[in-house]
Amino acid sequence: MPTAELVRIVSRSSPMALAQVERVRAELAALHPGIRTEVVPVTTSGDRWTGDLAALGGKGAFTKEVDQALLAGAADLAVHCLKDVPADRPLPAGTTFAAHLRRDDIRDALVHPGGLPLDQLPPGTRIGTSSVRRIAQLAASHPHLETVPIRGNANSRLAKLAAGQADALLLAVSGLERIGATDRISEILTVETMCPPIGAGILALQCREDDTRTIDTVSALGHHGTWREAAAERMFLHVLQGHCNSPIAGYAEAEPDGTLSLRGHVFTPDGKRILKAHEWAGPLSPEDLGTSVALTLKRAGAAELIAAIPH
């Protein structure tokens, strides 16, 4: 099938989202010299809303308008941070993921104006984050610290930190890399200290199912190991049926020899109860591995824990 001559790329309009699009444009240009790309930026309801995301239906608030532009034919390709794409329900009918780019850093970073690491922050330090995953893990490991709600893209959160709305921030390493702000990092936290969200560090390319020309054009950008990790993690979250107030974390690791493992964590919001599971796929498919880890946690009480969290 001939390569598409023009690919219109729809994305959120934040600086980080547009930086992600530039990565896709560069990789497409390297793969298909002479291809033309156009950016179709949209502002999502999640970007406009400053309150609790649960009131907008959770993470889907960051993808709805992007999906609409794709389905309406205003764009050919959508670029998503996979962690922002709901896994508790299917992709919008008529769309599919054509590729998952090679995964970026999955870890979280502490940003503190004085450069202190997490363990040296004094009691009462206000950590800016609205992530229930981060809040629960901080409550478990550093109960002497406080959390204050801060939402918005990474640039706006850094501005709020400078304005004194928090004493420090927790942000994704990959996000800070994309906006060229790694010099702000005080400490990169280990995954043992702060288990990442499902889909961390993965950019997913979404197309209309019937647009075979665009699918064929972009599919070679996909990284097989990242796809396997994403498939296991998203099935894990799907089987758990966690909502936007559920502190759930986990990550899969695809080794060069083909070995695939998945760690999954479920927390109470106060961090006082933590359920953990870690399994290897063996002969299982990535989706079966995700299902197995989720069922292990369900047998340990994860479903009841999630159901007891208001949303």
User: How does residue 267 score in pLDDT terms, banded at 50, 70 and 90?
Assistant: very high
Catalytic residue among 76, 84, 108, 167, which? 84
pLDDT of residue 46: 52
pLDDT of residue 49: 43
Q: Find out whether 251 and 191 touch, Cβ atoms under 8 Å.
A: yes
- 204 vs 69: CA distance, rounded Å: 16
pLDDT of residue 61: 56
Least confident of 4-18, 99-113, 184-198, 254-268: 4-18
Q: Find out whether 248 and 273 touch, Cβ atoms under 8 Å.
A: no
- Count the neighbouring beta carbons within 10 Å of the beta carbon of residue 301: 13
Q: What percent of the chain is modeled with pLDDT above 70? A: 93
Q: What is the mean predicted confidence (pLDDT) over 99-106? A: 98
Rg of the chain's alpha carbons, rounded to an integer? Answer: 19
120-172 confidence digits (pLDDT tens): 999 999 999 999 999 999 999 999 999 999 988 899 999 999 999 999 999 99
Q: Find out whether 122 and 143 touch, Cβ atoms under 8 Å.
A: no
275-308 confidence digits (pLDDT tens): 999 999 998 999 999 999 999 999 999 999 999 9
Q: In the beta sheet, which residues pair with residue 208?
A: 95
pTM for the model stands at 0.91
- Answer yes or no: 84 catalytic: yes
CA atoms within 13 A on the CB side of 149: 5
| pLDDT averaged over every residue in the chain | 92
pLDDT of residue 192: 96
191-237 confidence digits (pLDDT tens): 999 999 999 999 999 999 999 999 999 999 999 999 999 999 999 99
Q: What percent of the chain is modeled with pLDDT above 90? A: 81
- 28 vs 164: CA distance, rounded Å: 41
- 121 vs 125: CA distance, rounded Å: 6
Residue 176 has pLDDT above 90, yes or no: yes
Q: Find out whether 261 and 209 touch, Cβ atoms under 8 Å.
A: no
- 69 vs 75: CA distance, rounded Å: 6
CA 272 to chain centre: 24
34-81 confidence digits (pLDDT tens): 999 999 989 765 555 455 544 445 455 567 888 999 999 999 999 999
Residue 174 has pLDDT above 90, yes or no: yes
Strand ranges for 137-236 from DSSP E: 146-148, 168-172, 187-188, 203-208
**Burial class of 23 by CB neighbour count within 10 A (0 to 12, 13 to 18, 19+):** middle
